[in-house]
Amino acid sequence: MTLQEKTKVVLLACGSFNPITNMHLRMFELARDHLEDTGRYRVVKGIISPVGDSYKKKGLIEARHRLEMARLATQNSDWITVDDWESQQPEWVETAKVVRHHHAELISSENNNDDVDTVRCGKRRKLEKNKNICQSSSYNKTGADSPNLNLLCGADVLESFSVPNLWKPEDIEEIVGRYGVACITRCGSDPEKFINQSDVLYKHRKNIHVIREWVTNEISATHVRRALRRRQSVRYLLPDPVVSYIDERSLYSAESEQKNADVILAPLQRYTSTN
């Protein structure tokens, strides 16, 4: 298969990123390697979409800080970018809607003959040095292929599909059926088993790429926040500029961890109240 015949893929990661960790960045690299190793895909862009404050997760600090940390973490990447559309919405937005929004943007960039790979991350000069992406950009202009948007997530998110009142069944169907998922394994997770046990996931199993992280790595934002509260070092768990950003503002404390402590998570609140 020639480069031009490969399907272009954009990876979209939705989450709290409270704060962004090295594992969040690694997810993108793992997924790109895995998809490109199949010989069928070209991963042209990664998007990080931090959730808005109205998600109301316990300990969630303000989106402006989470966005800034994500920007600092990706400032040297030539393909991963941070998008604030989701976090700017006045209410919490279902992930299916976030995926739909980014897919529509992608299609509209293609239709406008924009350079999909560079138009929204503003790193044109750097990207043009990348031969693969440069070739894929010129190919876009022919309109001959249409890009896929895959939701990039850890196995915990896939497994959360079965939590009652957390996800709407039609949203799950849309995400896996219409767009597709790139799922990174986590310690203690068994995504293949989970897919087999779920009728909707099994039906769309060809759209779910399970990507094994062989160097099991349980860096989690929860662990990072806990270490920060205990004044322990988080260096090498997070990019250095993110560590400095947190330290300079003392962003995480016992007090910040109590944010939303008595509030119900937005999706649970929304779906429980409409049942």
Ligand X SMILES: Nc1ncnc2c1ncn2[C@@H]1O[C@H](COP(=O)(O)OP(=O)(O)OP(=O)(O)O)[C@@H](O)[C@H]1O
From the list 3-11, 121-129, 162-170, 188-196, the region that binds ligand NCN by CB under 6 A is 162-170
8 token code pair? 């272009």
184 touches, from ligand NCN, ligand X, none (C-beta below 5 to 8 Å by class): ligand X
Q: Mapping DSSP to helix (H, G, I), strand (E, B) and coil, where does residue 256 land?
A: helix
23 token code pair? 């594992």
186 touches, from ligand X, ligand NCN, none (C-beta below 5 to 8 Å by class): ligand X
Cβ–Cβ under 8 Å, residues 29 and 73: no
195-to-1, 82, 96, 181, 210 alpha-carbon distances in Å: 29, 29, 19, 12, 10
Minimum separation from the CB atom of position 219 to ligand X (A): 5
The bridge status of strand 148-154 relative to strand 41-50 is unpaired
104 touches, from ligand X, ligand NCN, none (C-beta below 5 to 8 Å by class): none
Which of 74, 88, 64 has the alpha carbon at shortest distance from 27? 74
- 79 binds ligand NCN, rule: CB under 6 A: no
Q: Per-residue contact track with ligand NCN, 96 to 125, x per CB under 6 A?
A: x-----------------------------
49-to-67, 228, 248 alpha-carbon distances in Å: 8, 24, 24
Q: Would you call 155 exposed, middle or buried from its count of C-beta atoms within 10 A (0-12, 13-18, 19+)?
A: buried
From the list 8-16, 124-132, 207-215, 222-230, the region that binds ligand NCN by CB under 6 A is 8-16
In this chain, which residue has its C-beta nearest to ligand NCN? 16
From the list 33-41, 92-100, 177-185, 192-200, the region that binds ligand NCN by CB under 6 A is 92-100
- 15 binds ligand NCN, rule: CB under 6 A: yes
147 touches, from ligand X, ligand NCN, none (C-beta below 5 to 8 Å by class): none
Q: Per-residue contact track with ligand NCN, 217 to 256, x per CB under 6 A?
A: ----------------------------------------
CA 59, 223, 17 angle in degrees (round to 5)? 55
Minimum separation from the CB atom of position 16 to ligand X (A): 4
- How far is the C-alpha of 61 from the C-alpha of 66, rounded, in Å? 7
From the list 77-85, 164-172, 176-184, 208-216, the region that binds ligand NCN by CB under 6 A is 164-172
243-to-22, 36, 70 alpha-carbon distances in Å: 11, 32, 12
- 41 binds ligand NCN, rule: CB under 6 A: no
Cβ–Cβ under 8 Å, residues 189 and 159: yes
Q: Where does this chain bind ligand NCN (CB under 6 A)?
A: 14-16, 51, 55, 57, 94-96, 157, 166-168, 171, 267
